[in-house]
Amino acid sequence: MGTSAGGTGKHVLDLVGGLVEADHDVVVLAPRAELDQFPFAEAGAATVELAVADRPHPVRDARALAILRDVCGGADVVHAHGARVGALSVLALAGLAPPLVVTLHNASPGAGLLGRVHRVLESTIARGADLVLGVSADIVERQRELGARATDLAVIAAPPPGAVTRDRHAVRHDLGIEPRTMLLVTVARLAPQKDLDLLVDAMAELRARHAIDAVAVVAGDGPDRERLQARIDATDVPVRLLGHRSDVPDLIAAADAVVSTARWEGQPVGLQEALHSGAAIVATDAGGTGAVVGDAAILVPVGDVPSMARALADVLLHGAVRDDLRSRAISRGGELPTSEDALEAALTAYRSVL
């Protein structure tokens, strides 16, 4: 695996634990920061440092290719997670026997240099991998268009329900929110992919059109924080950036609605946590979001401010709508894939290429 903000590393660690328990020999190749962050060795895997980063680097990538070829050449199957390390694995294993499975955890970042680089990586993977798994249907379809020989949806285990340590009144008190104020919670990295400008704009329109006493809070940090805070201050909307939080389950449990404004998602962890919590969810119909939430959310088009504002008003003004969404969320949460499901799907994938 390459660099990971968390989700990919957790998935790989989950698979490692299951594979080791099933008496398979596992070697994890990953950057030093990921080997330090995720306890692969404690789970029973051998580990090898693989110095790869988000962007190409001729010298570093040449060393990574040599390591991949040396370590993976004797494997029964190689499973690469991510576009960068997936493409490097294709090049490293050329002419060698082990079949290659690649899981793509993110779609293309779009235009610009990063988008062009990603398209090259996608094409390399499609030409060289024996099987490509995508965390959302659009990724799978893209690989089919590029001519991948075999594709399927990846099965990622949903996180277990988080422990709630405070009731909603205590959470609201700590946030300085009055008991009658409606609370919207977003869990997201402050980055362009999450399109938190949509949340700011929708809250502004909600305030202009409806007399709703509501506050939106965002749990998370990232490169967009300073810009977003300046925009919030300039427009004077009731949106608060809370930064990194260790009490996300408490925030979700206290929310009148959980909101996602992402431009693209694979299998969003924050919404899976919201389903487990029985939250009323409003989200953009981005990437794999619809497949995760099913009928347990109000979905609106990506980037559509009026639709997002209307959906939020519908949930906040009508208790029956919130109650129905909460009931659906609890039901849907019970259907999310488990670690056992993810392990069996991975083993099925490996058998299909052997």
What lies within 8 Å, CB to CB, of 173 at 6+ separation is none
What lies within 8 Å, CB to CB, of 8 at 6+ separation is 1, 81, 82, 105
Q: Are 130 and 353 in contact (CB under 8 A)?
A: yes
Per-domain residue ranges of the chain = 7-157+338-353, 168-333
Q: Are 90 and 120 in contact (CB under 8 A)?
A: no
Closest CA to 159 of 138, 187, 134: 187
Written out in words, the top-level CATH class of the domain with range 168-333 is alpha beta
Q: Are 217 and 190 in contact (CB under 8 A)?
A: no
- Domain 7-157+338-353 identical in fold to domain 168-333: yes
Q: Are 6 and 334 in contact (CB under 8 A)?
A: no
Supply the pTM of this predicted model: 0.89
Tens-of-pLDDT digits for all 354 residues of the chain?
998 877 899 999 999 999 999 999 999 999 999 999 999 999 999 999 999 887 778 888 999 999 999 999 999 999 999 999 999 999 999 999 999 999 999 888 777 788 888 899 999 999 999 999 999 999 999 999 999 999 999 999 998 888 999 999 999 999 999 989 999 999 999 999 999 999 999 999 999 999 899 999 999 999 999 999 999 999 999 999 999 999 999 999 999 999 999 999 999 989 999 999 999 999 999 999 999 999 999 999 999 999 999 999 999 999 999 999 999 999 999 999 999 999 999 999 999 999
Q: Could you give the CA distance from residue 131 to residue 347 in angstroms, rounded to a whole number?
A: 13
Residue type, 132: V
Topology of the domain covering 7-157+338-353: Rossmann fold (3.40.50)
Tokens representing 181? 């104020």
DSSP state of 29: E
